[in-house]
Amino acid sequence: MAIERTLAIVKPDAVGRGLSGEVLARIQKAGFQIVAIKSLYLTRKGAEGFYAVHRARPFFGELTEFMSSGKIVVLALEAEGAILKWRDTMGATDPAKAAPGTIRRDLGTSIGNNCTHGSDAPETAAFELGYFFAGYELI
Cα distances (angstroms) measured from residue 78 to each of 13, 29, 131: 24, 13, 17
Neighbours of 20 (CB within 10 A): 17
Crossing angle of helices 82-90 and 122-132, in 10° steps, is 80
- Catalytic status, residue 117: yes
Amino acid symbol at 46: G
H or E element at residue 3: strand 3-10
Angle at 2 between CA 39 and CA 78, to 5 degrees: 15
Q: Which of 103, 117, 118, 125 is catalytic?
A: 117
Which residues are known catalytic residues? 117
